[in-house]
Amino acid sequence: MEFRPRNKFSIFFLNLLMLFSFIGFNINPSIAMFTSSECTSANFSKQILLPAKYLGIFKREISLSKERCLLSLKFKSSFWFSKWEVDLCRDPIHLRYENFLGPELFRKNVSCIKGYSDQFCDSAAKLKEVIQNELLLFAEGERDQLSTSHGTSYCLNLLFASYLEKDFSFSMENPHEYDVFKQEKVPDPAPLPWNAHPNSNSNPNPDPSPSSPVDAAKNSQHPKLEF
């Protein structure tokens, strides 16, 4: 027997019910974003293809990698390449740069404020430009996941900024000490009060143990003389 809605309201209700059923079956559960310590301790290697320029003649790509403390980005076109590399765990703050002319090492001497120019600041500014205008725009996938190209690119950007701009050198043994999202060191936890420690007594200054009967007798027979 065929079911026929009695009025327009029934038709509208059925359509609405089908719509909500379709949405309910197709919504993916939200996935939490990676944490600061996960970004710091992660190892990854990705290759991102960029749109070619000049009618497809100049092909371009970015290779990025992280192996514990070593973080690198290579920007390559048909006739040129630029590569930046830092050791996140090494002081003083420095930046290795390489192109067809050979490798160079630039040490940070002063803060790279607007208008100031030296080899380190100029190279760091060019690296930031490539990340902002190329890598983060064309990397695919969700930003929240380190398994995607976009996620690793975002993590790489945070680590470069923490080291080159905020002058923080990391420790892979303690990846929780710096928050790459807030770009600041995590404050040390406040010390616990004495009575919060599991081995502490209820009385911080306990009275000395009572003397034995023999000691008490001696003290009564030989009182202490005061001068």
Q: In whole angstroms, what separates CA 162 from the centre of its chain?
A: 9
- Strand partners for 74: 63, 83
Give the tokens for residue 156.
Answer: 């790489």
Residue with tokens 């607007």: 114
Please say whether the dihedral angle defined by the alpha carbons of residues 107, 113, 116 and 117, taken in this order, is positive or negative: positive
pLDDT tens digits for range 10-23: 555 556 555 544 44
Residues 6+ apart with CB under 8 A from 196: none
Dihedral class, residue 157 (left if φ above 0, else alpha if ψ from -120 to 50, else beta): alpha
Pairing between β-strand 70-76 and β-strand 81-87 as defined by DSSP bridges: antiparallel
Residue 9 has pLDDT above 60, yes or no: no
| Domain span including residue 54 | 36-182
Residue 55 in domain: yes
Three-class DSSP category at 107: strand
- Give CA 80 to chain center in angstroms: 31
Inside any domain, residue 178? yes
Q: Is 26 part of any domain?
A: no
**Number of domains within the chain:** 1
Mean pLDDT is highest, among 10-24, 50-64, 137-151, for 137-151
In a domain, residue 211? The reply is no
Does residue 199 lie in a domain region? no
* Nearest residue to 81 (alpha-carbon basis) of 146, 130, 12: 130
For the chain, the residue count is 227
104 within 8 A of 122, measured Cβ to Cβ? no
Residue 166 falls within a domain, yes or no? yes
Nearest to 99 by CA among 120, 87, 84, 121: 84
In a domain, 82, yes or no: yes
pLDDT surpasses 50 at 133: yes
Tokens, residue 91: 């002081």
pLDDT tens digits, one per residue of 145-189: 888 999 999 999 999 999 999 999 999 988 898 999 998 888 877
Q: Establish if 130 belongs to a structural domain.
A: yes
Task: Report DSSP state, residue 138.
Answer: H
Chain-wide mean pLDDT for the chain? 78
